[in-house]
Structure 1
Amino acid sequence: MNNSNTVPVIKELVLVGGGHSHLSVLKYFAMNPVPGLRLTLITRDLHTPYSGMLPGYIAGHYDYDQAHIDLRPLAHFAKARIFHAEVKSIDLENKQIICPDRPPINYDLVSINIGSRPGTLHTPGADEFTIPVKPIDSFLSQWDCLIENILERTQQGDSFHLAVVGGGAGGVEMALATQYRLQYLLKLENIKPAKIEVALYSDDDNILKTHNSQVRRRFRRTLHQRDIKINTGHKIEKVEHNKLIDTNGNQHTADATLWVTNASAPAWLAESGLEVDKDGFIAVNDYLQSISHEDVFAAGDIAAVINHPRPKSGVFAVRQGMPLAKNLDRFIQNKKLKAFKPQKNFLGLISTGDKHAVASRSNWSLEGDWLWKIKDWIDRKFMDNFNELPEMKQDTAPEYNQDMADQKTIHEISAIAMRCGGCGAKVGSTVLSRVVNRLSPITRDDIIIGLADPDDAAVTEVPPGKLIVQSVDYFRSFIDDPYIFGQIAANHALSDIFAMGAESQSAMAIATIPYGIENQVEDQLFQTMSGALDVLNASNTALVGGHSSEGAELSFGLSVTGLADREQVMRKSGMQDGDVLILTKALGTGTLFAADMRLKAKGRWIDKALQSMLLSNQAAGFCMHRHGATACTDVTGFGLLGHLVEMTRSSGKSVEVNLDSLPVMDGALEMIATGIFSSLQEQNVRLRRAIKESENLRKHKHFPLLFDPQTSGGLLAAIPAANAGQCLVELQELGYPVSVIIGQVTKDSKSVESVTLLT
């Protein structure tokens, strides 16, 4: 992620989906950046499974990471923003991508590569009683549950009937890979393999109808040898619980059904107004460009190339990647597009589940273990192309690519270069007014003058007997998505109020938006403010004003005002002997996001860290107060040890902390082991002098986490021991699943060494 790019954004290219074609697009723009182009990837899944390795993954030959491409580091490598969301519609007239629960995302050019899913809609009961193999990520989440169910049934002595519906290459590979994996697991459990019965169903009179007769004969032989029953000419017209019904009325036992039929497209493509073919796929020309909307491109399964129809296969999606990337590049720079003509024939390597493969091309066929080794080598080489990212050299680039800009844009960019400092650096009043008018902050009776008023300052009322609690936080963006960043920044700022047991009343925003042309500045400000406002409104906090300016990078923060009764205020001081220490969130954001910047963190780790940072501390703060917290703080930039030291010194107490009990975010220990730390870690480590006898435990794997700076971290509170159990139960019920006791308050201490570590 490039936080300090001063080149103004001129055009927005949005990639919808992390399919095989878009992998090449991201890699292309990483190696061929276009100054002035902002690239955004919207993806439902952060790890995209490679279809060529799916049978091997199911059979147990590959682990999860070997069979998936991590989109987050790849997007960062391409200097692309990555938004973890699912697209539900496109507003083609206003050029906006619509995703649930977030503001629309603007585009100048959009490319769609979201894959397909089996066509179950026209088969009654299929959606309810089958497991579709596509989308692959959804299938894999159900696959683990299916394995557990099968093992449980067979351990009880029951047999299990597994049906695979679909007689193409995908169905055949899935039947063989599934059976191979299940028989291996049954062998480990000393269960007879005969307890698993696998049956393949094809509505055609043969299997593998798009392949030659040699291939079909080889697989019929293999399926027969594996005791997989082949049912050809059996079109399934209805699915019921544990039962398949074909067109002849025959009923087939199926305790579970894998659906691997012809591909289908989501309805929103046609509903958005895109021209689609008879099956609902986006109709594109030889340039992979929509035939109805020139600013929409599509590739892979979701696209139907009108002049060159081809089967839905990953091999075509892969080969469309580079032509798509180059045509997107040409389009945004107003250059002539080049036609792409897919190959008619290709070499297919179809696996048999047991590290054996059959080669299929035109009218010939081969098979052998050596072919599986070739397939394995090809697949691994493809994956390495996107998972092993090279170091990028720093080229001197022009300020922007003039081929993209018209005269109006050039005039606007010229004005950007002459922008002033001081008040001249503020976001323009027209842009600011439009953003404010689009926001919907909550209203409160104690806000006398607020955001809707034209006055120079906000006016709030303080009820009799209440204390004002104030705090401010502001920092640069560490993620690509301005909407999520706004949410996290608001949570982080509000946490100081909640840690003191107060109710938040009002907030004022401080935003620095990267330089850009007017509509880009407006969109960035609106996305950020929308995220913050979602959090503020949820906590009944009124946005009453703020300040915005332009700068080199996105930064955002809030000044927050809260209200509290005098006896309600929780402080860092006040810990009592015998109190236990409760922490509500896991540690590790510092090292994880340092690794993220270096393209070393896995996308799923970062996603879980973001979910933790999006969790408000409001309910936890009130819970701590109800259970008699004697001291409380939120764990942020100084790390756990830094905040513990603040509490011990102000309380005149010492504490014992159990290193083994510290909750840790997924991936944090792996990154620490590689020596990746936050830039603030070194300063925090200076506080190790507060630890008694730290030498003995410095090699403990959790030791570095004491110094890891947290963003939107959890609450740390001292709770009377008698109340701790019920407090933990309530925290769990309130949605803080990793809440845990990490230590206890011991005794008065005037020593600098106030923290004792235990295991």
Structure 2
Amino acid sequence: MQTSEQPILRDIVLVGGGHSHVGVLRMFGMKPWPGVRLTLICTDIHTPYSGMLPGYIAGHYSYDDVHIDLGRLCAFAGARLFKDEVVGIDRANQKVICKNRPPVAYDALSINIGSTPQVQLVPGALEHAVPVKPIAKFNQRWLNLLDRVKTHAGKTTIAVVGGGAGGVELLLAMQFRLRNELKTMGRNPDELEFHLFTADADVLPTHNPGVRARFEKVLNARGVVLHRDAEVVQLDGHTLQTRQGERLHADEIMWVTQAGGAAWLKNTDLELDNRGFVNVGPTLQTSRDPKIFAAGDIANLTSTPLEKAGVFAVRMSKPLAKNLHLFVQGAALKEYHPQKTWLALISTGDQYAVASKGLLGFAGAWVWQWKDWIDRRFMAKFSEFPEMDPNAKPAGGNTPNLALTQEESLQAISAIAMRCGGCGAKVGSTVLSRALGNLKPVDRADVLVGLHAPDDAAIVKVPPGKAMVHTVDFFRAFVDDPYVFGKVAANHALGDVFAMGGEAQSATAVVTVPPGLESKVEELLFQMMSGAVEVLNEAGCALVGGHTGEGRELALGFAINGLVDENLNGVMIKGGMRPGDVILLTKPIGTGTLFAALPQLKTKGRWIDAALESMVKSNRLGAQCLREHGSKACTDLTGFGLLGHLVEMTRPSEVDAELDLSALPLLDGALDMVNAGIVSSLQPANVRLRRAIRNQAEYANDPRYPLIFDPQTAGGLLATVPGDQAEACVAALKKLGYEHTAIIGRILPQGDALEPIVLKG
């Protein structure tokens, strides 16, 4: 979680992880703008670099070689990364509308989402063609095709619709890779048949005649059937039909043409061109709203119409960053003047490429090597970050130079002044009421006075035949997305009730937020508590009140009240282990090391994303399943780590336990990080429990060994079930979505040794 002595005064929201925005993020990381916060909203954690994608398809590069890790980049930039799909913009209230989370407020907004193949314009194409964008979905279809060609003998016909540089490069890369795969397997590569459909008379119509001739020669030499003047107007199943009536059946149809803007832009009332791209002026501001900018393929520069080429998106990043900064400063913006000609390096599948610039064109293996050098140098900017001097002054110095209203200026001065303690540290009632006013906690008949009542405390009834379960958890934010943090914090707090077999009834929140502009504090509270209330509501747990105060860091906790049968029927306790029981774990471990590595920029974005997905997974259904399969002992895995929690269960149960290191479910990247020596700050305290391991010396060098001490946040359930119920319980848990559930050991009768834990590998 990024912390700063400087309050947030302005929010710049970047929609899409395109080439322009990654440049803005890197520049911001090199020289942050005081008082300004960047937020990136993107559907994917990794964004592809278009220049290297054909090389990836051809097999010359790995997935990581051609993708920019937005998680690491945002961590370097000190920017927030919200993983979600944008579906609209509320311009009147300056909010970005997302599919799966609350609206995100902005002071300035930039759109860099690329173009979208308009497959819906051709009957049948939406159902039967594979659009090249979004790349993440295309990649999965490509991997499926690769596997299908390798495992199914016989003729395969592949058609590519689109005769521009993108379509030609894609076809040649696919052909090169697939033919090589068949040759390696000893099969005839001529089983593959490729067709290229172009609506124009020639391929690459925007390039000079010499370049077009070179590619037509390559296509002919490689046996590609070229269909000229062949606009595809319908797909009947897997049969293509052109305007001229030509028909072809293809096993796979790739769509690389008729690109346009995303459908949701039509409802923003921004000015769009006839293809749905956003009209922008020379400053990259949209024509109807100066607070909104656009860059890359999604932008239509009205002063100088541009071809949809990655080079322009890359070149726009610098003027975009400059103008976003000038805009929040209230200063005059600079005009962007694109180059009139540009160099395109177009590969032919093998390690050979053609250079095209204006009327010039040349080719060779050396051109591909040149292209490879340029591309790798570009990607290195987003994977090899310089060590930053923590004492270096931000761009423009440490003092914000932003355009603020008089009221905002007073609030900013107050936010950095010495703050009062005691009740003076409470968040103002107006801010609090606005932030919490839109929250809708679940209604429960046993909550007599709840969140939206003006009273000093909640009143909750204990139903007849029930006993109360009380628990409390509190910790500071470890991720920069307040909505996700709210979900994790609520899940973490609920875990203790679920682990005992209880029903969550009510929750009171304790929150600290950094001081700042009232609008920013209000937005932060709303985002965080929206995430928390979603989780509480799903559990049937009513948020009934709480306390919100100021602090240097964002933090959130909950006191949870739960209900169990007053005779303790169905209750699971730590002392319920019995010899012959099998030990189960419902979630993978490794959150401690991963989030320790995150600020060091050592993790991959997809590792953190997978960890967060695990952390927001509720333990409620898992606990019910364990009870149904006879579990009498359960706990949720949290700060003491796997070993710590296992030891505190064996002692009251008066048993020993055998723990199988090789069976432990691990989060992706966790093993890499502990092997790199990166551990949580709580790990050394947990390691002291190694004295509870009978054969510790035998396994101390096992690569998984450090992870049994790794502290978990919102971890899974550690439980035991009777041995004859174990397999059925695991199957049921996996069916409920706990796909990493594993049998990790067994319970033994208590022996004479003092150490209760025995390891095996």
TM-score, structure 2 as length reference? 0.98
- Is 1:445 aligned to residue 441 of structure 2? no
Unaligned runs of 5+ in 2: none
Counterpart position of 2:386: 390
Structure 1 residue aligned with 2:712? 710
C-alpha distance in structure 2 between counterparts of 1:464 and 1:261, whole Å: 67
Q: Which amino acid aligns with 1:498?
A: F
Correspondence list, 1:298-377, <5 A: 298-377=294-373
| 374, 381, 397: which one aligns with 2:377 | 381
Instruction: Please give the alpha-carbon distance, in whole angstroms, between the structure 2 residues aligned to 1:101 and 1:15.
Output: 17
Structure 1 counterpart of 2:493, which letter? A
Which stretch shifts more, 26-35 or 555-564?
26-35
The one-letter code matched in structure 2 to 1:645 is V
The answer (yes or no) to whether the contact 1:512–1:554 under 8 Å persists in 2 is: yes
Structure-2 residue corresponding to 1:151: 150
- Which runs of structure 2 are paired with 1:422-433 in the superposition (5 Å)? 422-433=422-433
Structure 1 residue runs of 5 or longer lacking an equivalent are: none
Distance 1:123 1:464 in 2: 63
Which residue number in structure 1 is paired with residue 121 of structure 2? 122
Q: Aligned with 1:580: secondary structure?
A: strand
1:80 maps to what in 2? 79
| Match of residue 721 from structure 1 | 723
Q: How far apart are residue 415 of structure 1 and its match?
A: 2.5
Please give the alpha-carbon distance, in whole angstroms, between the structure 1 residues aligned to 2:666 and 2:362.
50
> Does the residue aligned with 1:556 lie in a helix, a strand or coil?
strand
Mapped contact 1:263–1:312 kept (Cα < 8 A): no
Structure 2 residue 541 is the aligned partner of structure 1 residue 545: no
Distance in 2, Cα, partners of 1:672 & 1:226: 49
Residue 176 (structure 1) shift: 0.4
Match of 2:239 in 1: 243
Do the aligned partners of 2:571 and 2:632 also contact (CA within 8 Å) in 1?
no
SS at match of 2:407: helix
The DSSP-based 3-state class of the residue aligned with 1:350 is strand
How far residue 436 of structure 1 moved from its aligned partner, in angstroms, is: 2.6
Counterpart in 1 of 2:515?
A: 515
- The aligned counterpart of 1:754 is 756
1:673 aligned partner? 675
Contact 1:469 1:502 in 2 (8 A): yes
Answer yes or no: is the 8 Å Cα contact 2:500–2:572 preserved in 1.
Answer: yes
Q: Secondary structure at the match of 1:386?
A: coil
Q: 1:725 Cα deviation (Å)?
A: 1.8
Query: What is the CA–CA distance in structure 2 between the aligned matches of 1:452 and 1:203, rounded to whole Å?
Result: 62
Q: Give TM-score, length-normalised by structure 1.
A: 0.98
> Does the Cα contact within 8 Å between 1:115 and 1:135 map onto a contact in 2?
no
1:356 maps to a residue whose letter is Y
Aligned to 2:463: 463
Separation (CA, whole Å) in 2 of partners of 1:664 and 1:44: 25
Alpha carbons of structure 1 residues 399 and 515: separation in structure 2 relative to 1, 3 Å: farther
Partner of 1:745 in structure 2?
747
The reply on whether 1:198 has 2:194 as its aligned counterpart is yes
2:293 aligned counterpart, secondary structure: strand
Tell me if 1:168 matches 2:168. no
In the alignment, residue 700 of structure 2 is paired with which amino acid?
A: R
Residue 434 of structure 1 corresponds to 434
- Give the corresponding residue for 2:619: 617
Query: Could you tell me how far apart the structure 1 residues matched to 2:63 and 2:701 are?
Result: 30
Q: Which amino acid aligns with 2:474?
A: Y
> 1:211, 1:57 → 2: CA distance?
24
Quick one: distance in 2 between partners of 1:655 and 1:386? 46
SS in 1 for 2:320: helix
Query: 1:582–1:54: structure 2 CA closer, same or farther, 3 Å change rule?
Result: same
Give the corresponding residue for 2:413.
Answer: 414
Pick from 252, 271, 275 the counterpart of residue 267 of structure 2. Answer: 271
Whole-Å Cα distance in 2 between the matches of residues 315 and 461 of structure 1? 65
Question: Percent identical across equivalent pairs?
Answer: 51
Tell me if 1:480 matches 2:476. no
One of 178, 182, 202 as aligned partner of 1:182: 178
Q: Which residue of 2 aligns with 1:626?
A: 628
Contact 1:9 1:36 in 2 (8 A): yes
**Aligned-pair distance for 1:396?**
4.5
What's the Cα RMSD here? 1.2
Deviation at 1:568?
Answer: 2.3
Pair 1:246–1:19, CA change in 2 (3 A): same
Report how many residues are paired.
755
* CA distance in structure 2 between the partners assigned to 1:741 and 1:472 by the alignment: 29
Question: 2-side partners of 1:223 and 1:490: how far apart?
Answer: 58
2:111 maps to: 112
The aligned residue for residue 638 of structure 2 is: 636
Distance in structure 1 (CA, Å) of the matches to 2:706 and 2:365: 47
Alignment partner, residue 697 of structure 1: 699
CA distance in 2, matches of 1:520, 1:144: 44
3-state SS of the aligned residue for 1:121? helix
**Structure 2 counterpart of 1:226, one-letter code:** R
The match for 2:597 among 580, 595, 612 is 595
Give the match for residue 26 of structure 1. 25
Equivalents in 1 of 2:475, 2:297: separation in Å?
42
How far does residue 187 in structure 1 lie from its aligned partner after superposition? 1.5
| Displacement of 1:188 | 2.1
Q: What is the one-letter code of the residue matched to 1:209?
A: P
SS of equivalent residue, structure 1 residue 30? helix
Q: Tell me the secondary structure at the aligned position of residue 525 of structure 2.
A: helix
In structure 1, distance between residues paired with 2:585 and 2:38 = 39
Which whole-Å CA distance do the structure 2 matches of 1:752 and 1:523 have between them?
A: 54
The CA deviation string for residues 338-367 of structure 1, in whole angstroms up to 9 with x for no partner, is 111111111111000000001111112111
The answer to whether structure 1 residue 232 and structure 2 residue 231 are counterparts is no
Q: Provide, for residues 187-230 of structure 1, a one-character-per-residue CA deviation record: whole Å limited to 9, x for no partner.
A: 22221000000111100000011111111111111111111111
What is residue 12 of structure 1 aligned with on the other side?
11
Cα deviation for residue 750 of structure 1 reads 5.9
User: What are the Cα deviations for residues 307-361 of structure 1, in whole angstroms up to 9, with x where unaligned?
Assistant: 1101111111001111111111111111111111111111111000000001111
The answer to whether the 8 Å contact 1:630/1:720 transfers is: no
DSSP-derived class of the 1:115 partner:
coil
Shift of 1:418: 4.5
User: In the alignment, what sits opposite 1:211?
Assistant: 207
Contact 2:499–2:623 (CA under 8 A) maintained in structure 1: yes
SS in 2 for 1:540: coil
Q: Which amino acid aligns with 1:539?
A: A
Letter of the aligned partner of 1:409 in structure 2? E
Q: CA deviation at 1:465?
A: 2.9
DSSP 3-state at the match of 1:473: strand
Q: Could you tell me which residue of structure 1 aligns to residue 558 of structure 2?
A: 558
How far apart, CA to CA, are the structure 2 residues paired with 1:652 and 1:721?
18
For the 8 Å contact 1:153–1:159, the answer to whether it is kept is no
Cα distance in 2, alignment partners of residues 117 and 599 from structure 1: 32
